[in-house]
Amino acid sequence: MALGRYLLNPLAMVATICGVKNEIVSWKVTPLEKFLTSDEKLRIIEWVMTDVTNQVGIDINLAVRHDWLLAPLQFVSGLGPKKAGILSRELLGGAGVRNRSDFAKFGLNTKRVFCNAVGFLRVSNCDDVVVNTLDRTRIHPESYNLSEELARAVYTKLVQENPEADVSEESAIECIQNDPDLLKNFDLNEYADRLEIENGENKRVTLFDIKMELLHGFKDPRRPYTEPTQDEEFCMIAGETEDVLVEGKRVQATVRKVLPPLAFCVLHSGLTAVLFKEDFSDETENISLTEKLREGAVLACKIKLVDKSKCRVNLTCKVSELKNNGDQSFHDMDPYYHEGKTISTSQLEGTNKVKLGNKHLMPRMISHPNFQNITADQAKQVNLFVV
C-alpha cells in the first residue's frame, strides 16, 4: 500500500530523499553526471525540483492527511528547507486549512514569505467546509479582485444576452465553472483594452492566466504518462535513434567475448552486438572464431540486423558485404546533404604532377570512395563543381 502511494506521486517520492544529508546526490541519473561535482549536481537537481513543484503545486489539506506529500514544500518558491519545516510542523499539529489566509497562522506570518509562496499552495475542501473557489487555483490573492471583476463582467454579459438566466452576481465565479463556455466565448482582449483605458494598467497577461485557472484550476502542465513503444524503448536503452542504427550502416565494434560459434561485441554507443561465425568471413571452411578473434579487437563491420526486441544488433564482417554499397543507408546524414558528382583528379588542371613550391604531396592510404590526394586549392575547385 505504501509503495502504491509513492507511485502515485513521484515528485513527493524524490523530494523525500532531498533532505539535509542530500541523499539525492547518490542517485544515478545519467552516465554523464561523472563530469559534475556533487555541488553542481545538487544545484541542478534543486533547480529542476523547484521548477516542477511550482508548476504542479501542493494540495495542502491532502498533504496534511498524508504527511509524506509535504516533502516538496521545501521547493516552493519563498520557503526553503527551514520555512518548509516550520510550516509542516504547524500544519501537522493543527486543524485543516480552510482558506489561504490561514497560512498566516501556520508559519507564513510575514508578508513577503506569504506573497511568494501562497500562489503555489492549493487549498481544497476541508472537513466538509467548502473553500473559496479561487483558493483551489494558481490565482494569487493579489489578483482575487481582478478575478471577481472578470467574473462579474461575464455575468453582466450573460444577463444582457439572457435576462431570464437564473444566476446571482455573488455566484458569478461558480457560474463560470458550471458553464465554461461563458468564459471561453468572452472577448478578453476587448475587456483588457477597456480596463487599460479606465485604470491605466495593462492586465492582459494576468487576465489570460486567470481565465486558464478559472477553466482548469491547477491543471497539471505535464503530459500524461504513456507506455513507451518498442522503438522508444530501444532508443532509450541503446542511446541511438532508428535513423542512426539502421541495417547496412558501417560501424566499429569492440570484441568483448569470443565463443566458437559467435562473438559478443559492443558498439561505440554501448549497445550489444553479435557476430556469428558465418558472418565473419567469406571463406567457406568451417572456422572457429576463437582462432580468429581476441578480446579487445576492433572490427570494421556492417549492421546486418537490428533486433529491437533483444536490444542488440547482428553484425557482418564479410568483405563482400563491406564492399557492397547498394544497401548503405544515408538516414543519419544532414537533410541538406548533396552527394553530387565525383570529380576525378585527372579532370583538374595540373593534377598529374602536383607541387607546392618545393613541397610534394605525401601519398596517404585512406580507404574512402571520395578521397582524393589533392591540394587545398584543388579541393576548393572540386567543391565548386560538386555544389
Domain ranges of the chain: 2-131, 142-215, 230-323, 345-386
Class of domain 230-323: mainly beta
Class of domain 2-131: mainly alpha
Give tens-digit pLDDT for 142-182. Answer: 888 888 888 888 888 877 776 665 555 557 777 787 778 88
Torsion sign over Cα 340, 345, 349, 355: positive
Give tens-digit pLDDT for 321-375. Answer: 887 765 444 454 556 666 555 555 555 545 444 444 445 666 676 777 677 777 7
- CATH H-level, domain 142-215: superfamily: Spt6, Death-like domain (1.10.10.2740)
All three cell numbers of 26, joined, read 547518490
Exposed (0-12), middle (13-18) or buried (19+): which is 233, by Cβ within 10 Å?
middle
Strand pairing report for 298-307 and 355-356: unpaired
Confidence of residue 123 (pLDDT cuts 50, 70, 90): confident
Q: CA torsion angle for 60, 65, 66, 67 (degrees, to 10)? A: 70
Give tens-digit pLDDT for 53-65. Answer: 888 888 888 888 8
Burial code (b: 16+ CB inside 10 Å, e: under 16) for 168-206 equals eeeebbebbbeeeebbeebebeebbeebeeeeeeebeeb
Give tens-digit pLDDT for 296-322. Answer: 889 888 988 888 888 888 999 888 888
Q: Is 287 helix (H, G, I), strand (E, B) or coil?
A: coil
In sequence order, which residues have a C-beta less than 8 Å from that of residue 44 and are 6 or more positions away?
36
Give tens-digit pLDDT for 3-49. Answer: 333 334 777 778 877 877 777 888 777 777 778 888 888 888 888 88
Distance CA 53, CA 75 (A): 6
Give the pLDDT confidence score for residue 357 in this predicted structure.
Answer: 46
